[in-house]
């Protein structure tokens, strides 16, 4: 067994493409090797800003010999059939075997293919693998027609310590690589991955991205701690910086005090977006006048010039931010609202000003349902999009909402209004905090529901691969707002209310939206261990659009089915349902009529009929009181009579009237359980 080492050395690969490119290289290579009959023990891919590497252990030095066998026509078949078989197999008749298969004597062609040397196979496969890498963006350079992510400078291709002759994008393979652009630029040779990785480290390159990431986090945290502060954790920035450096060096810089009265979010966003700096916090959690920059360089002065240069650049960036901050506050947020009429929300859905007008009315309606201050909710809705026309949000779009809060506070708006403006985009994802203040909740719901109803009404729904308007995120946000705040709301009524506010009328997309919410609810609850089929079982009853009540039903159903009574009753339901379904199809009729007590000839029939009558009344009473656990307890009482019925009663009796009555009894089992959930949707 031998080792394959491949390195593609290029100009800087964009950080956002690196992790995916390593996965793609590994996937393409391993799939190609398996298809070529090359087994291997392990494969790993690595990426740095200037190299993409692959190591595959346990490859054979040659393909295994293959014996292919193909059955031909019978020996007494027409000559044309035999000739066609011989041409296809490339053999003569003397080279074919005759075998008696029990159904006659047939010709068999047995072809043995000698395995090729692995190095020879790799020489053919590797260029194809390189060419198939699916870069989001690629380029051509110089006179080279091949497209790749960035200009290539070198290819290492070693199998069992020897160069595999490969040519791609005008570059011939060899055994030489290079280290850090400035700290270790001299070429070096390696015969194995272990030696290659060690020589890279000597040349100031950490090959493993996970190791670089951990090194950056540890060094940045230690640098901040040494100064008496704490690093503000930012995993997204950490991932990006990992893809920008090969030899990370953490350095601490200072922020001029003149900028510290600018909102902390502005400072951190400016540092993060433009400069890739990590923010630093004081022990009380407030922003410290410091930042951590990750250099890709060791310097003789300990990084002093690097820090000074970064401080100078940051000073210019923050001067711009401070200018926007000062200028924006010269005009009230309310005075900016008329400018929203010049911003289009979406071509078929009007302007942002029109959206604001709709959200104002919807916020007031929702506020009344959740006991929030309707006037404050409407005022927050009026101002919630006004920061879109400020200079700060124009420079940093990710600060929309947050800046609206600061400007609303400056203008003297009520605290509830300012907080609602900041929170109305939330929750933006599963890890984002969910608003709990009533005014904030009313506005956040109104904004998301208006968007969902509008886009569904014009049939701009998400597809399997596309969701350009983030409607899935909006639906998940509504679900979290409702469930985490335990809001008793009818989604269907809210959809209808939102649809009425659109100038463009038409059919309310309630059914499509409820189906969409059912799918999103499954996603939300999957991590909590709630089965998707139970959600289907409750949703399928129809008319259930109160998510809090729906969750209570699902939780009660899940507990019920986890018990012996529930599991056995589910089995009985499916048995009864299957029997009735089969007989209805065969008889071309239905058996959902009332049971005739006079035809109940056996005690087990009578007891089941009585139990079903009691269960129907008991479950109805419990469901009306929304006591879903009690409803399940009532159903559990059916287990004994149902089991006894199936043990003692022959459904397909000889007398047609008795048979029909027993089928109606089974149909009643299905109907009674169906009042609680659609048990046909439950798996198992």
Average pLDDT on 487-491 reads 95
Average pLDDT on 242-249 reads 97
Integer-rounded Cα Rg, in Å, for the chain is 35
Angle at alpha carbon of residue 134, lines to 27 and 50, rounded to 5°: 85
In 273-332 the beta strands, taken as DSSP E runs, fall at 278-281, 287-295
How would residue 350 be classed by pLDDT, with cut points 50, 70 and 90?
Answer: very high
- Report residue 257 as tokens: 């005090």
- Report residue 100 as tokens: 């008696």
Torsion from C-alpha of 27, 33, 34, 35, nearest 10 degrees: 100
Shortest CA distance to 402 belongs to which of 392, 416, 414? Answer: 392
pLDDT of residue 506: 74
> pLDDT, tens digit, for every residue of 150-159?
999 999 999 9
pLDDT of residue 505: 67
Q: Is 285 left (phi over 0), alpha (psi -120 to 50) or beta?
A: left
Q: Are 238 and 213 in contact (CB under 8 A)?
A: yes
Hey, where are the domains in the chain? 2-62+118-202, 66-113, 209-328, 334-529, 559-681
Average pLDDT on 601-610 reads 92
> pLDDT, tens digit, for every residue of 301-315?
999 999 999 999 999
**Distance (Å, whole) CA 671 – CA 684:** 19
pLDDT of residue 279: 97
Q: What is the sign of the dihedral through the CA atoms of 279, 280, 286 and 289?
A: negative
> Which pTM was predicted?
0.81
pLDDT of residue 427: 96
pLDDT at 112 over 90: no
- How high does pLDDT run on average in the chain? 93
Task: State whether residue 168 is helix, strand or coil.
Answer: strand
Residue 430: DSSP 8-state: T
CATH superfamily of 559-681: Isoleucyl-tRNA Synthetase; Domain 1 (1.10.730.10)
More confidently predicted of 47 and 543 = 47
Count CA within 13 A, CB hemisphere, residue 517. Answer: 30
Cβ-proximal residues to 384 (8 Å cutoff; 6+ apart), any chain: 356, 359, 401, 404, 420, 421, 424, 443, 447
CATH number for domain 334-529, candidates 3.40.710, 1.20.140, 1.10.3210, 1.10.357: 1.10.3210
Q: Tell me the helices (H) and strands (E) count for the chain, helix number first.
A: 25, 20
- Report residue 534 as tokens: 């139970």
How would residue 239 be classed by pLDDT, with cut points 50, 70 and 90?
Answer: very high
Average pLDDT on 104-119 reads 88
> pLDDT, tens digit, for every residue of 640-677?
999 999 999 999 988 999 999 999 999 999 899 988 88
């Amino acid at each position: 067994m031998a080792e394959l080492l491949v390195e593609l050395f290029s100009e800087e690969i964009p950080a956002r493409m690196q992790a995916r490119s390593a996965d793609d290289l590994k996937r393409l290579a391993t799939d190609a090797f398996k298809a070529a009959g090359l087994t291997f023990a392990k494969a790993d891919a690595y990426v740095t800003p200037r190299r993409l590497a692959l190591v595959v252990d346990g490859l054979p030095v040659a393909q295994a010999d293959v014996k292919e066998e193909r059955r031909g026509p019978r020996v007494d078949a027409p000559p044309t059939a035999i000739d066609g078989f011989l041409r296809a197999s490339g053999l003569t008749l003397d080279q074919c075997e005759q075998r008696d298969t029990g159904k006659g004597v047939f010709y068999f062609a047995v072809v043995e293919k000698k395995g090729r040397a692995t190095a020879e196979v790799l020489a053919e496969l590797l260029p194809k693998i390189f060419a198939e890498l699916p870069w989001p963006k690629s380029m051509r350079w110089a006179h080279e027609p091949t497209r790749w992510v960035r200009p290539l400078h070198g290819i290492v291709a070693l199998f069992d310590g020897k160069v595999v002759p490969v040519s791609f994008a005008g570059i011939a393979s060899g055994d030489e690589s290079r280290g850090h652009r400035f700290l270790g630029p001299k070429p070096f040779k390696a015969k194995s991955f272990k030696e290659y990785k060690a020589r890279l480290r000597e040349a100031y390159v950490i090959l493993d991205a996970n190791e670089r990431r951990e090194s950056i986090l540890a060094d940045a945290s230690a640098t901040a701690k040494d100064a008496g502060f704490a690093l503000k954790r930012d995993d997204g920035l950490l991932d990006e910086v990992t893809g920008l450096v090969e030899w990370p060096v953490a350095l601490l810089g200072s922020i001029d005090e003149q900028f510290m009265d600018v909102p902390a979010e502005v400072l951190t966003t400016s540092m993060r977006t433009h400069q890739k700096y990590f923010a630093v916090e004081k022990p009380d959690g407030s922003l410290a006048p410091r930042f951590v920059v990750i250099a890709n360089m060791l310097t003789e002065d300990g990084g002093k010039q690097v820090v000074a240069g970064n401080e100078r650049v940051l000073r210019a960036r923050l001067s711009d931010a401070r200018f926007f901050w000062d200028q924006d506050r010269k005009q009230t947020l309310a005075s900016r609202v008329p400018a929203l009429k010049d911003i289009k929300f979406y071509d078929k859905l009007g302007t942002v000003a029109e959206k604001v007008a709709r959200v104002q009315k919807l916020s007031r309606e929702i506020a009344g349902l959740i006991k929030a201050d309707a006037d404050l909710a409407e005022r927050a809705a009026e101002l919630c999009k006004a920061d879109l026309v400020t200079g700060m949000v124009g420079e940093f779009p990710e600060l929309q909402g947050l800046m609206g809060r600061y400007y609303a506070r400056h203008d003297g708006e009520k605290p509830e209004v300012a907080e609602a403006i900041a929170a109305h985009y939330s929750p933006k994802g599963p890890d984002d905090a969910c608003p709990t203040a009533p005014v904030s909740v009313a506005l956040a719901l109104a904004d998301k529901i208006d968007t969902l109803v509008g886009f569904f009404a014009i049939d701009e729904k998400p597809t399997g691969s596309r969701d350009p308007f983030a409607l899935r995120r909006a639906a998940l946000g509504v679900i979290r707002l409702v469930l985490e705040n335990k809001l008793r709301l009818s989604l269907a009524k809210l959809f209808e209310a939102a649809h009425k506010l659109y100038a463009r009328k038409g059919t309310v997309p309630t059914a499509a939206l409820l189906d969409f919410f059912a799918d999103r609810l499954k996603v939300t609850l999957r991590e909590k261990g709630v089965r998707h089929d139970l959600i289907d079982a409750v949703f399928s009853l129809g008319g259930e659009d109160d998510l809090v009540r729906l969750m209570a039903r699902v939780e009660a159903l899940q507990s019920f089915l986890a018990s012996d009574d529930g599991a056995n009753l589910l089995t009985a339901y499916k048995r009864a349902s299957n029997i009735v379904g089969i007989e209805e199809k065969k008889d071309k009729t239905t058996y959902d009529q009332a049971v005739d007590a006079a035809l109940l000839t056996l005690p087990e029939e009578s007891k089941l009929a009585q139990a079903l009558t009691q269960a129907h009344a008991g479950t109805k009473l419990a469901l009306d009181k929304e006591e879903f656990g009690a409803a399940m307890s009532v159903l559990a009482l059916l287990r004994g009579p149902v089991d006894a019925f199936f043990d003692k009663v022959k459904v397909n009796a000889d007398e047609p009237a008795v048979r029909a009555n027993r089928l109606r009894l089974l149909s009643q089992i299905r109907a009674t359980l169906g009042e609680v959930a659609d048990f046909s949707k439950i798996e198992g």
